[in-house]
Amino acid sequence: MTDHTHPPLTHETLKPEAAAWFASLRDRICAEFEAVEREAGGDAVFTRTGWERPGGGGGVMSVLRGAVFEKAGVNISVVEGSFSAEFAAKIPGADEDPRFWAAGISLVAHPRSPKLPAVHMNTRLIVTQKGWFGGGGDLTPLQPGTEEAREDSATFHAAYRAACDKHDPGYYPRFKAWCDEYFFLPHRNEPRGAGGIFYDYLDSGDVAADFAFTRDVGEAFLAGYFPIARRRWAEAYTPEEREAQLIRRGRYVEFNLLYDRGTMFGLKTGGNTEAILMSMPPEVKWP
């Protein structure tokens, strides 16, 4: 006898719950950034700006400029429409029908102190004629080889390993390697930072399990980054370290403008330009 009381979850039916989850995660992450600012004696809070996409949907851009975080941005969006023919050819399930729906959260934080690593995280659900999850997080310390950077990297990676191992012991090695490959600048032959995890096109056949994993990736950011922020924000630094930090930030700009999938997706689907480029650092130098 077939049980019709609980129909199987699909990417289509998950849309409202996924969009609500990304918004709730945004609220918790913003609250934690603001808490660190208060602990440092500041009072910076996020300014939220809503935007609408002409082709359907929109989002909210949240930006904080504080004493610890020179700039932190946490964006959410829910958009729908049709891909261009050129872009649709590259997207699973969109080659025959270009319609899409996408929701997600994306954040980047550029700390004021070079002792505190920059960080990026995003998770998303995309639905075409197929559906899948993607996301991850990565850490960018100023000097990856130092003892402090190794300690911070260990904290960050431990949180993501725990999230992965909860679902599949093969996830962490697979998604860590994908992150190392993805966040790499070929024109400089160097990694962007200390890595983390990255995954895309995740569709195991169990939508509920994939969504649970994606939620845990979001939780891992809270567990993996804010202990580092509290450990490092008050450490003294030199003008030379600050100068090196500004030059290092240039790598962020180069990657996001040349290679980043999220940047390309947003620009090619009519997203809000300011929200898409929110990841850019507030001050940067090239030697």
User: pLDDT tens-digit profile of 54-109?
Assistant: 889 999 999 999 999 999 999 999 999 998 887 888 888 888 889 999 999 999 99
Q: How many residues does the chain have?
A: 287
Say if residue 1's pLDDT is above 50. no
Q: Which residue has the higher pLDDT, 276 or 77?
A: 77
Instruction: Indicate which residue of 4, 6, 110, 120 is catalytic.
Output: 120
Q: Which of 25-39, 75-89, 147-161, 208-222 has the lowest mean pLDDT?
A: 75-89
Residue 5's pLDDT is what?
60
Q: How far apart are CA 72 and CA 63, in angstroms?
A: 6
pLDDT band at 4 (very low <50, low <70, confident <90, very high): low
Alpha-carbon distance of 184 to 56, in angstroms, equals 33
282: confidence class by pLDDT, cuts 50, 70, 90: very high
Radius of gyration of the chain from its Cα atoms, rounded to whole angstroms: 19
Q: pTM to 2 decimals?
A: 0.93
Six-digit token pair at 95?
């080659």
Cα distance between residue 248 and residue 271, in whole Å: 27
CA distance 116 to 276: 24
Confirm if 123 and 163 have CB atoms less than 8 A apart: no
Domain spans, the chain:
11-279
User: pLDDT (tens digit, 9 = 90+) per residue, 27-54?
Assistant: 999 999 999 999 999 999 999 999 999 8
Cα(174)–Cα(170) distance, integer angstroms: 6
Which pLDDT score is estimated for 6? 66
Residue 220: which of 118, 123, 117 has the closest Cα? Answer: 123
Share of the chain above pLDDT 70, in %: 98
Mean pLDDT (whole number) for 212-219:
98
* 120 catalytic per annotation: yes
Tens digits of residue pLDDT in 96-144: 889 999 999 999 999 999 999 999 999 999 999 999 999 999 999 988 7
CATH tag, 11-279: 3.40.1500.10
Q: What is the rounded average pLDDT of the residues 241-250? A: 95
pLDDT in tens, 174-193: 999 999 999 999 999 999 99
